[in-house]
Homo-oligomer: A and B are copies of this chain.
Amino acid sequence: MDYYSKQISDLIASLSMLPGIGEKTAQRLAFHILSMPIDQVEKLSGSIISARKNVRYCKVCATLTDQDICPICSNPKRDHSTIMVVEDTRDLAAYEKTGEYHGVYHVLHGAISPMQGIGPDDIKLKELMTRLSSEQVNEVIIATNASLEGETTAMYISRLIKPTGIKVSRIASGVPVGGDLEYIDEVTLLRALEGRKEL
């Protein structure tokens, strides 16, 4: 890429290492950055490095946060006896956006996937079990993804927890709200049928 000067080439190369950003998009972003006011560029560059440097796992639920204990775990108004287990911080955010869940979370940072060589020890499962033995917990809601890995992880966790006597539940699988039956896959349709509720 010697048709660009070194600084521009370096910027394009760095940007194109991000997921979903190919060389053309990286070029477009780079030239946009070059035309941005310097204070905005400083803010962008600063927020990248400071987020990476300061963000760590919450000591309780393992979500990504910039404090030792995240705002949810340190909030006394939350129901600390209900723990929702999610695969990553984005899934936590997805449930927080509903505004209707008042319990706390546990973030696994992955799901068990024998195909990808990710076993139970590679996700924050030990931390969950330690938490269950030391805190007063009534229910564990497993909200891993409805993928093969998510289901495997849910099964594995429920088998681990059941002997402790704590209630374990799994979020429902079925037709999404607004979904048109015609376009829904068979497995989802069967799940929706199995999970039917009396009206």
Contacts and interface: CB of A to CB of B under 8 A. Distances in A.
B20 A28 contact: yes
Interface residues of A, number: 59
A83 B151 CA distance: 63
A3 B55 contact: no
B17 A40 contact: yes
Given A5-B70, A7-B55, A33-B52, 15 more contacts: A7-B54, A8-B64, A8-B89, A11-B51, A13-B47, A18-B33, A27-B93, A31-B64, A31-B89, A33-B51, A34-B55, A36-B52, A41-B49, A44-B48, A45-B49
Chain A contact surface mostly: helix
A11 B64 contact: no
Contacts of A138: none
Given A89-B4, A90-B27, A52 B38 contact: yes
A137 interface: no
